Amino acid sequence: MLVNEYKRRLEGVDDAVLVDIRKLNAVENNEIRLDLRKKDIRVTVIRNSLARSAFHDTGLAGFESLLVGPSAIVYGGESVVNVAREIVDWSKKAKAIQLKAAVLDGQLFEGKAGVEALSSFPTRDEALAQIVQLVMSPAQQLIGAAVAPGGNILGIVKEIISKLEDGETISKVG
């Protein structure tokens, strides 16, 4: 019954962070959960043997070998990168949080170093913005080069108009 509940609750979740939060006091635990919930991030304490059964043949299968000792799965938000960022930030404030691992697109990021590495990745939106910027940069340079001669001509035309308005004769423009 609990395996089915895990499967139901985590249906469609293929990316998550695995932590140990057992040493948190009740106040810290509530603060963390409330803050994360505001960001649509969930924390679920799991039973390891049941979670292994529930995670089998899912995106979370990478956690199976790491389900030792008290474990909680943290998931949701905009992306697992955001989840990792939030958990890493909280682990700096609440030293009792142990970062065990993270999974992104089936790739396992093991240990504290792995979760911290994942937290430094760009989110999907940030990556798209970087790609758009890379694509647009040559186009902006091309437009600048194309517009520059036109800008020079416009400057010459303005100078001619200014001289004509002042009643000056135009002998040679150059």
Output the pLDDT for position 35.
92
What is the domain count for the chain? 2
Do 39 and 97 belong to one domain?
yes
Claim to verify: residue 78 and residue 150 sit in the same structural domain: no
Number of H helices, E strands in the chain: 6, 5
Residue 159 in contact with residue 165, Cβ under 8 Å?
no
| CA–CA distances in Å: residue 162 to residues 155, 159, 172 | 10, 5, 14
Residues 144 and 100 in one domain: no
Let me know whether 107 and 169 are in one domain.
no
Angle at 34 (CA atoms; ends 29, 39), nearest 5 degrees: 130
Asked if 117 and 134 sit in the same domain, the reply is: no
Q: So what's the pLDDT on residue 48?
A: 84
User: pLDDT value at position 34?
Assistant: 92
Strand ranges in the chain using DSSP code E only, listed in sequence order: 16-20, 41-46, 71-76, 98-104, 107-110
pLDDT in tens, 84-100: 999 999 999 888 899 99
DSSP state string for 139-174: HHHHHHHHHHHHHHHHHHHHHHHHHHHTT-------
pTM of the model: 0.68
**Tens place of pLDDT per residue across the chain (174 aa):** 888 887 888 788 888 999 998 888 888 989 999 999 999 999 988 888 888 888 888 888 888 888 888 889 999 888 899 999 999 999 998 888 999 999 988 888 998 999 999 888 877 777 677 777 767 666 666 566 666 666 667 777 778 788 778 877 776 655
Regarding whether 138 and 114 lie in a shared domain, the answer is: no
Bridge-based pairing of strands 41-46 and 71-76 is antiparallel
For residue range 97-121, what is the model confidence (pLDDT) as tens digits?
999 999 988 888 998 999 999 888 8
Owner of token pair 């004769």: 169
Whether residue 109 is found in the same domain as residue 86: yes
Task: Clarify whether residues 140 and 67 are in a common domain.
Answer: no
Q: Which domain holds residue 168?
A: 130-174
For residue 56, what is the domain's CATH number? 3.30.70.1730
Amino acid type, 16: A
